[in-house]
Amino acid sequence: MIKKNMHFDVPAADVIKSRHSVRTYTSEALSEEIKTKLTSYAKDIKGPFTSKIRLELIDDADIAAKAGGKLGTYGVIKGARAYIAGVMEKGEHSEEQLGYCLERLVLFATSLGLGTCWLGGTFKKSEFAKLVNPSENELIPIVTPVGYGGSRRSIVESLMRAGVGSDRRKPWSELFFNQGFDKPLKRSEAGRYEQALELLRLAPSASNKQPWRILRDGSTYHFYLKAAKGYSSAFGFNIQKIDMGIAMCHFETAALESEIQGNWEVRPQGFYPATEDVEYIVSWIGK
C-alpha cells in the first residue's frame, strides 16, 4: 500500500512547477536547522520497491575535511556548499527506487526554497566516493548540489539548458496513451488523473529525454520506458530507469493530492502489450 504521509507544507503542484535545475549557487551555507530537516525527511522516505538505497547529505565541513574543499563537477556546478549523494545497491528496480526516493527529497528541498540539480554524468565519482564510502555492492549513480540559487546563470549553465531544451516538455500526445500506443490520451479525457499526468510531464529527466510512456486501461496506468538507443548503457547503470522512478514520484504525489488512492504493482513479464521500442516497468492500480 502507498504511504500517505508525503505531502509538503505547500501544494505539490506549486513545488513541482517551481523546481528547475540550479547549477549556480550563492555562497550561503545550509543552516544546521535546514540540514536536520533534510536528513530527517530523507530517513523516512520509503520507495515503492524493496531495493536498498541511501541518501547522504555531504556538507561543507565534510567537503573541507575529506575533499580538500571542493568536489568536481567538470565546471557545471558553481558555488555549491553541500550535496546529496544517491547511493544504490545494484539489483532489480534499484534505479527506479533511487529515482523515486531522491526526487521526493528534491521536492522537499524545493519546498524549503532550496535549489538542486540531478547529476548523473557531470561529477567526479571517485571524489564523492571518498565521502560516502560505497560498499562493494553499491554504486553512486547520482548526486545533486543543494543550496541557494544565485540570481544569474553561468554561461556553461545557459548553454547546457539550451543544448537539451530544458524549458520544453513533450506534448501529451507523445507521452500518454489510452488502451493502445496508437491512441493518444487527450488531456480532456484524463478526468481526475489530469493533474497527476500533467505533473509527471514536468518531471526532470537525464538530458531532458523524457523516456516515459504511459498507457491507460481504465483506472490502471502502465508505465513503459522508451529508451534512447545507446544512451543508458553509456553510464554503467540505467539512467533512464532513474527517470522512470522520478516520474512515478511525481505521478503518485499528484494523485494523492487529488485524493486518488492506488498502489504500484509489477505485472508478470509479457502480460501487457509492448511494442518493439518500449519496455514495461510498473503499473499504478488506481482505486
Ligand X SMILES: Cc1cc2nc3c(=O)[nH]c(=O)nc-3n(C[C@H](O)[C@H](O)[C@H](O)COP(=O)(O)O)c2cc1C
Binding site for ligand X (CB under 6 A): 20-21, 76, 117-122, 160, 164, 166, 204-208, 239, 242-243, 246
**Are the C-beta atoms of 77 and 25 separated by less than 8 Å?**
yes
Taking Cα atoms as reference points, which of 40, 36, 42, 46 lies closest to residue 1? 46
**Are the C-beta atoms of 143 and 125 separated by less than 8 Å?**
no
| Alpha helices (runs of H) in 138-191, residue ranges in sequence order | 155-164, 172-175
- Nearest approach in angstroms of CB 88 to ligand X is 12
Q: What does the alpha-carbon distance between residue 58 and residue 285 come to, in Å, rounded to a whole number?
A: 37
- Nearest approach in angstroms of CB 177 to ligand X is 22
Neighbouring C-beta atoms of residue 19, cutoff 10 Å: 20
**Are the C-beta atoms of 147 and 133 separated by less than 8 Å?**
no
**Are the C-beta atoms of 220 and 264 separated by less than 8 Å?**
no
**C-beta closer to ligand X: residue 131 or 242:** 242
**C-beta closer to ligand X: residue 84 or 260:** 84
**C-beta closer to ligand X: residue 20 or 52:** 20
Q: What does the alpha-carbon distance between residue 240 and residue 233 come to, in Å, rounded to a whole number?
A: 10
- Nearest approach in angstroms of CB 217 to ligand X is 27
**C-beta closer to ligand X: residue 34 or 247:** 247
**C-beta closer to ligand X: residue 229 or 287:** 229
- Nearest approach in angstroms of CB 4 to ligand X is 26
**C-beta closer to ligand X: residue 133 or 158:** 158
Q: Give, as one character, the DSSP assignment of residue 57.
A: E
Q: What does the alpha-carbon distance between residue 112 and residue 114 come to, in Å, rounded to a whole number?
A: 6
**C-beta closer to ligand X: residue 163 or 180:** 163
Taking Cα atoms as reference points, which of 87, 13, 23 lies closest to residue 55? 87
- Nearest approach in angstroms of CB 61 to ligand X is 25
- Nearest approach in angstroms of CB 208 to ligand X is 4
Burial (0-12, 13-18, 19+ Cβ within 10 Å), 211:
buried
C-alpha cell recorded at residue 17: 512547477
- Nearest approach in angstroms of CB 222 to ligand X is 21
